[in-house]
Structure 1
Amino acid sequence: MKNKTLLAGLCLVATAACSTQGQVDPDVMQIATTPLTCSNKAECELWWQRAQTWVASHSKYKIETANDSLIQTAGPDGGKRALAFQITRAASPDGTMTIGFSAHCDSSLGCKPNPWEAGADFKQYVRGATGTAAGAPQGSATPPQNAPDATHPETMPGRTTTLPNGEAMSK
């Protein structure tokens, strides 16, 4: 009887762990989908420098392009879980600039780190938020949940999702 109770308890724990795997924390989703808009030239230049620093320290792929409007890494390589990044900067008619973030991998197992968590981390770092793991290398952050959320088929690996702010996010 003791073994049956133990087995039942382990099955319950395993089921609970599986039911939450792959879901993105609402706070992370909020940060990841909030537009990254700088308001003046000095702030925009600082944020663009921070964007390049973040990509250089978080990408497993080398940066192939880095100019005034695009930061892009190589990749993704076939079947790898590492994220490839594309960061854009576009001027708005009101004089502000918007920095866009896109991350994707080429693995059926999902990306590592999770693109939503990477996007939130990127935006916090670029804005200069303190008290986050934003400046830490990706290996020291909280382990991401990598399985796609079955309730959101648009977040399946290999698919691109357009966020409410017009940015592309893909897995």
Structure 2
Amino acid sequence: MNQAAKLSPELQSALDTPLYCTGESECKLMWERAIFYISTTSRWQLRVQTNNLIETEGVPANYYALAYSVAREPMGEGRYRLASQTWCGLKGFQCRPHADEGLARLKYYIRTGQKS
């Protein structure tokens, strides 16, 4: 049984809205926010940090702490999509926080620079 996260309207909107950036300045800021958020929030250390991928270490089976990944996909003309994921070593609803909540909070921070 997959249980949905109970999110505020603000976080539900962040979860449902794809992340895009346009131009060097906006994309650099959003990428730096992603690195900062993941490195200060995740229990896991960054395993990969390049110009196009941020990813934490793998998660052991049956462990509840979230791992994160953000990939920067070029869309052309200076526009990028920031595809993000969260997961743990359990089912998504057993993660702490819920995998969807963790993803929503990550996306909200990347977009706004504020923790929700």
TM-score range, shorter chain: 0.7 to 0.9
**Is the partner of 2:81 in helix, strand or coil?**
strand
Q: Does 1:120 align with 2:104?
A: yes
Could you say which residue in structure 1 is the equivalent of 2:80? 97
Give % identity: 26
Residues 24, 116 of structure 1: 8 Å contact kept: no
Q: Does 1:82 align with 2:65?
A: yes
Alignment partners' CA distance in 1, 2:108 and 2:12: 12
User: 1:3-40: per-residue Cα shift (whole Å, max 9, x none)?
Assistant: xxxxxxxxxxxxxxxxxx75433623321120111111
User: 1:76: Cα distance to partner?
Assistant: 1.1
Could you say which residue in structure 1 is the equivalent of 2:6? 24
Larger of the two Rg values belongs to structure: 1
Alignment partners' CA distance in 1, 2:16 and 2:112: 17
What is the RMSD of the two structures over their aligned residues, measured on CA atoms?
A: 1.9
Q: Does 1:53 align with 2:33?
A: no
User: 1:141-161: per-residue Cα shift (whole Å, max 9, x none)?
Assistant: xxxxxxxxxxxxxxxxxxxxx
Alignment partners' CA distance in 2, 1:91 and 1:62: 26
Alignment partners' CA distance in 1, 2:73 and 2:43: 25
What residue ranges of structure 2 are gaps of 5+ in the alignment? Answer: none
After the TM superposition, which parts of structure 1 deviate over 3 Å for at least 4 consecutive aligned residues?
none
Q: Could you state the TM-score of these two structures normalised by the residue count of structure 2?
A: 0.85
Which has the larger share of strand? 2
What residue ranges of structure 1 are gaps of 5+ in the alignment? Answer: 1-20, 135-171
Residues 87, 99 of structure 2: 8 Å contact kept: yes
Q: 79-88 or 115-124: which moved more?
A: 115-124
Of the two structures, which has the highest relative contact order with CA contacts closer than 8 Å and spacing of 6 or more? 2
Q: Could you state the TM-score of these two structures normalised by the residue count of structure 1?
A: 0.59
